[in-house]
Amino acid sequence: MNKLTVAEARKIDIVDYLSSLGLLGTKIQGEDHWYFSPFRDERTPSFKINRRSNIWYDHSSGDGGNIIDFGILYHRIDVRGFLELLARDYRRNDFSFHPQFKKDGNIGLVAGEKENLADSKIVVTATRQLSDKRLLHYLNARSISPELASQFCQEVDFALYKKQHTAIGFPNGKGGYELRSSYFKGSSSPKTFRFVDNSSQELQVFEGFFDFLSWFSHFKNDQLACNFLVLNSLSFFQKAKQTMEQHSSIGLWLNRGTAGQACTMQALKSNSAYTDKSNLYKDFDDLNEWLVHQNQQKQSKLKTIKPTYYGRH
């Protein structure tokens, strides 16, 4: 094959193409194939390919699209350059082609992107106070108390791929939710950051809401002394800068991966109001991972302490 058209390239199976690059998935959940992101170092897989729609989505950055969108970002070349590279790779690897699922002429995209098939778009159907035992167990596994989570989150029912799901929902103030459970990570539209205004000049900034809840869990005595901003994705950092820089003190609690640290370093150089707070969890990917480890250590120490008996023997 000497040349590939855009239409032909988009039919190439993305899972098959990533395999040719030596990128292998960590788990499969239904139609979703999960990977460690090809764009950064991370300890928790955040890069997903939906094999039904042949579309990828990076939950950490908010980027996504078809194989061409991936190739442009991964190889840092333009469309023409990637098509030429893909044609050369095709001769060596014999990629499989993937049938596209269409509706009204549009290629379906996965949850969290701007354009979606009706079935692949998250539709929130109900919200209520957190009570589902499986979600409460998941919170406990993340070292977050249900009482704390209930101050900021709701239990959310939503439909996706014609199936009903229930997850912990963190509202962003514009009608969208960040949705998490032991088996699901996604967001409903519109996706944006969340600002909690407590009329303070001190701001704490977090990449995700579990880190935000972890801060509250760890710093119990100063819960309402600051303002808070939860980005919900690093892709909103620049958009949120105007809100952040209205404060005289800005603490950054971003992930310790490549993308989070690069964002932190850029902010520190741009404005003296920023402070890197991530040294607290320097040996971990994020604040919540550190908190879970701390609690596990406490539990382990309690188990090793032998009881003391008093009285006659």
Compute mean pLDDT per 10 residues along the chain, 313 residues long, and list them: 78 84 80 87 86 89 88 86 81 53 38 43 91 95 95 93 87 90 82 92 95 92 79 88 96 90 93 96 92 88 64 53
- pLDDT value, residue 298: 83
| C-alpha span between 252 and 263 (Å, rounded) | 10
Neighbouring residues of 66: CB distance < 8 A, sequence distance ≥ 6: 10, 14, 54, 55, 56, 107
Contact 232, 192 (CB under 8 A): yes
Neighbouring residues of 205: CB distance < 8 A, sequence distance ≥ 6: 228, 229, 231, 240, 244, 250, 251, 252, 253, 254
- pLDDT value, residue 224: 62
Strands 106-107 and 102-103: antiparallel
State the pTM of this model: 0.63
- pLDDT value, residue 307: 62
- pLDDT value, residue 107: 35
List, as one string, the DSSP characters of 52-109: TTTEEEETTT--EESHHHHHHHHHT--HHHHHHHHHHHHHHH-PPB-PPPEETTEE--
